[in-house]
Structure 1
């Protein structure tokens, strides 16, 4: 019994310390890391050891590649805003200008915002000075990106896929090209691609080399110092019973549809015609070096916790006056209580577009929840991190599927709250699951190629911590929501003003994480108007107490008529609890300058649980048009090698955090991926239960396979350690245990089997 007790302590320690998978990431050597961990990006062999011009050229080659790069299609609003139908608002403040958001979620765009993401990438990998510029008021139809290194500015245009190298091998600035437009006539170093867009292309915004030369010769020019921002990361968490499957190609209209913002979206519209070419959705206008092999992908996130197991404590966001029992999670004492679950994804939530492509009124399948309750229950949801709630249903013994696609389209997450009232044990939640569709850019996915593939799996956020993210949806165009979310405001506020929303004062917002957690780090930013001869200093400050704000970012606009700039910063905090206050200051005694969009991301850490669990990674791909799959268990820094032959077409890749209380596989079913699993019968049972451990293979080193089986009650107390049974032969893959139950109360029990360090858990129901 002493050895059994030692096994129990180990197993409970693992169970309590591990559960969630924090910011899981799968990479192969064929793609660089675009998640926001830019040191990881630079560790890709394409960039190792390079600086200055060599690094800028390598980054250009990567981001203009027809597989790893983005492509020219149409403008993309990065996420939801209440100004859907206001073109100027969307154009200036809501287009995707964050490189992480652009390269992981969308993967395409137009020059006046995608070149901002290109300069944002350059800044992220170590180039301190970048800028974009345009001609005419507001920048015309194109922006010209430049990066500073080796004592000068250099023009590399990733959106229109070209740059010039002079005979001495250096890259000129845009001003040098304006002074010598003939530089565009030759390509002595065979730069490729070299402005490949055709003359008179199928879209007005497609500029050929001759178009660019004409602009250089004839158009005035102004600089936009920093039109990009860099707050987004691909950090997220998988809870027990949750998985994310990302597809290289979308299907059935499941995609991000920014084109609905076009008032001219109809059968005669050029964009309508492009989208309706198969496969349906955004795609390059032209092929070859001007285009991409990618179109648009999507993802499916499913979450189905077993509420009577550790899945609940691992996955619940907040709760009050509830306790687990054999049926689910119920009121612990007479009165009221609640359970809150959170859905959060760094990929923007989409839906399936049905009959109407110009409206979201018939979109479905994007955010679906299923719940079953007992007793008096009210169900509600929140899109502002719990600041306000919208009721979904009220009643007794609810069993419903709710499709929230239209409410969640374009967002990154939401909360669902179950509020109970009545006597202890009478009201509660017996089942809950969610299914979420998201937009995915194929350029970021860890593809497999013919030949050798080294697959790496790692965990931890962009700063190396095991955190969860809050993306506070601040929408200054929505006065009601802004006033509801703001902690305080002294600034003059005009939500419908295009370039004068916040000025002469400040506004403070709060990011609140659950009790028992601490804010670890933040990313904050703002879009601003400046440079109209109206002196102004913008600042952003942070605090853990709504006082004594520490200034973490300052921006002073240059003189001139540019606008639509942005500034941002990121940093760690210490001694903060579960509150982060952010103060945005928009100057004083100014008339023209203002803040027009605000960004706030907070990353929090659990005070008692920070280790990351293992996951199951599964690939699906075609080999010579025949579908194949493989899976492997992965922990932090796992490396898995796979050699493939034939013609490879990547289909999807999945990361799953297995449920800690999964229902047993029914007799006759095949265990997932052929690995070890548990079958229990009968289940529920009255006196005896047979526990069948299946698919157990002898170790390759010919040592005996070590199997330890223990049974616990729902509180985690050990009930029984069952002895290792004898096998008929060393090659046997099935072992049977019999549990004879006596003097135990009926209820839920957990069977845990440790097979050479791999732990499997199943629910066992003793009916008594």
Structure 2
């Protein structure tokens, strides 16, 4: 049987499968106001659970920095200031706090509203500032630091931690001397961590990487421009504890013979093929079978950090065919949900037992979905077996850690965010394009503003409910 999103949770690590599950963690239980706001900030800066500073991942679909909190927490585990700020804002909102973005010169932080006042938190530089006596226990707002920038450089009651080692408060004071601005929260909550394990399929996740990662289009220029920061060695924290990324893989080897239901549960489309004693066999007209490979984690291979060559050894296939005289076989691949099928391999006139060893990393790299189509041409042509391995990036901080020498309590839940056995299908739209609304859905009472941050607003602001 297919298993849908089996998710193991450790007593030592919050459940990062959804933001709702995250804020329901025991570490936040009973907390309100400032105590809750600090606890949410601590998750972002924690040396075991937090998000370290490194070049931001990009959304391939539209080439912008990834702001989706589930990707940041589960897939990457790293980003830079403006994404830290928006992720913390989304986390605060899910936890029930009013939240907004607050700017300093060349930098962004997050403000939470409680006890009748705004309070400023920085999850990237890892600090917040308190007021001076007699209010030394109150966390300052961005307006407070603008009125008195020495709250940054001469802080009598600093947070823990307080500033990165190369972003010291003495140098940061001047950034707070600019008048604050409050841009919209880029609330990009699109991704989900749902996945399926078909019969014959397994997922393995490692706390330490195996040399595979995505080099996004912006990375080579950033590595050259910011030489003082970590770069071509892969996502790495500049300071102790020098955190890095992790890797994992999906391995799939279904039983294709008669008597097995692996093809029924695992294939997206089968035409003209029947399961026989030795595998999937074609009739006189030939046939094909399509298998999809979907992951909540981004696929990746071993990259060239400067993108001079495509990544390799991230998506591999081993297949065995039995091809009688006069028959042949082909393998095609298509990225994402597209029908842009590309020929990847052909039997090229060989007959008898024919083996295929294929690296299709270029088709999967930096994506969450790809498909393979096996085509058998001629009666009796048979796909006897195949095995795929697709590697992905994973944030080690989100994995269910064992930290006690003795017992460690674990729990398991499964299903989508509603507990249902569903298979997620993401359909993406470019919301920064003028025809977005018309291409996505009909909305006579909505007005789309694609400038800077994509916005959908009511046509008549005086009557938003219409």
Q: TM-score range by the shorter chain?
A: 0.7 to 0.9
In the other structure, the counterpart of 1:407 is 363
Q: Which secondary structure does the structure 1 equivalent of 2:425 belong to? A: strand
Maintained 8 Å contact 1:348/1:412: yes
Do the aligned partners of 1:384 and 1:472 also contact (CA within 8 Å) in 2? no
Inter-partner Cα distance in structure 2 for 1:32 and 1:286 = 24
CA contact (8 A) 1:412 1:471 kept: no
In structure 2, the partner of 1:180 is 148
Q: How many residues align?
A: 445
Provide Cα deviations, 1:563-602, integer angstroms capped at 9, x if missing partner: 63256xxxxxxxxxxxxxxxxx8999xxxxxxxxxxxxxx
Larger radius of gyration: 1
Taking the aligned partners of 2:109 and 2:83, their CA distance within structure 1 comes to 11
Shift of 1:421: 3.7
Q: Which blocks of at least 5 consecutive residues in structure 1 are unaligned?
A: 1-18, 82-88, 202-206, 477-499, 510-540, 542-548, 568-584, 589-768
User: Does residue 22 of structure 2 align to residue 22 of structure 1?
Assistant: no
> Does the aligned pair in 1 maintain the 2:363–2:370 contact within 8 Å?
no
1:302 to 244, 247, 251: 251
In structure 1, the residue matched to 2:263 is: 312
Other-structure match for 2:93: 123
Aligned partners of 1:267, 1:229: CA distance in 2, in Å? 28
Report what 1:99 is aligned to.
Answer: 69
Equivalent residue in structure 2 for 1:43, among 7, 11, 24: 24
Q: Are residue 392 (structure 1) and residue 323 (structure 2) matched?
A: no
Contact (CA 8 Å) 2:49, 2:397: kept in 1 or not?
yes
1: CA distance, partners of 2:234 / 2:383:
39
1:268 Cα shift?
Answer: 9.9
Q: 1:125 to 1:323 in 2, by over 3 A?
A: farther
Q: Separation in 2 of the partners of 1:267 and 1:164?
A: 31
1:386-440 Cα deviation digits (max 9, x unpaired):
43312223446552111111222100120111233434xx133211211011111
Q: What is the rounded CA distance, in whole Å, between the counterparts of 1:67 and 1:383 in structure 2?
A: 35
> Aligned equivalents of 1:247 and 1:124: distance in 2?
29
Question: In structure 2, the residue corresponding to 1:443 is in which secondary structure?
Answer: helix
Answer whether contact 2:146 2:179 (CA < 8 A) is retained: no
Which consecutive residues of structure 2, in runs of 5 or more, have no partner in the other structure?
A: 460-466
1-side partners of 2:234 and 2:67: how far apart?
21
> Offset of 1:185 from its aligned partner?
5.0
Tell which deviates more after alignment, 96-105 or 308-317: 308-317
Match of 1:191 in 2: 159
How is 1:63-82 mapped onto 2 (pairs within 5 angstroms)?
63-77=44-58, 79-81=59-61
Deviation at 1:266, TM superposition (A): 6.0
Residues 143-174 of structure 1: CA deviation (Å, up to 9, x unaligned): 12112333332211111111123344333321
Match of 1:236 in 2: 195
Instruction: Summarize the Cα distance change of 1:260–1:185 in structure 2 as closer, same or farther, 3 Å threshold.
Output: closer
- How far 1:76 moved relative to its partner? 2.5
1:301-359: CA deviation from partner (whole Å, max 9, x where unpaired): 2111111122222211222232211011123x542432110111111111113xx4312
Query: CA deviation digits over 1:169-214, x for unaligned, max 9?
Result: 33332122212323335656553122x223xx2xxxxx43234421
Q: Superposition pairs for residues 322-721 of structure 1, below 5 Å?
A: 322-331=273-282, 333-353=283-303, 356-359=304-307, 361-373=309-321, 374=323, 375-395=327-347, 397=351, 398-423=354-379, 426-451=380-405, 452-472=407-427, 502-503=433-434, 506-508=437-439, 541=441, 549=442, 564-566=452-454
RMSD of aligned alpha carbons: 3.0
Which residue number in structure 1 is paired with residue 236 of structure 2?
283
Report if aligned partners of 1:112, 1:141 keep a CA contact under 8 Å in 2.
no
Q: Secondary structure at the match of 2:28?
A: coil
Identify the structure with the greater strand proportion: 1
TM-score in terms of structure 2 length:
0.86
The structure, 1 or 2, with the larger RCO (C-alpha pairs under 8 Å, 6+ apart) is 2
Match for residue 255 of structure 1?
A: 213
- Displacement of 1:270 in angstroms is 3.5
| Structure 2 match to 1:16 | none
Which of 123, 136, 150 does residue 158 from structure 1 map onto? 123
Matched-pair contact (CA < 8 Å) for 1:384–1:473: no
1:230-264 per-residue CA deviation (whole Å, 9 max, x = no partner) reads 1112111111111111111113x322334863337
Matching residue of 2:464 = none
Aligned pair partner of 2:79 in 109, 120, 123: 109
Query: Compared with structure 1, are the counterparts of its residues 586 and 429 closer, same or farther at alpha carbon in structure 2 (3 Å cutoff)?
Result: farther
Paired residues of 2:66 and 2:83 also in contact (CA < 8 A): yes
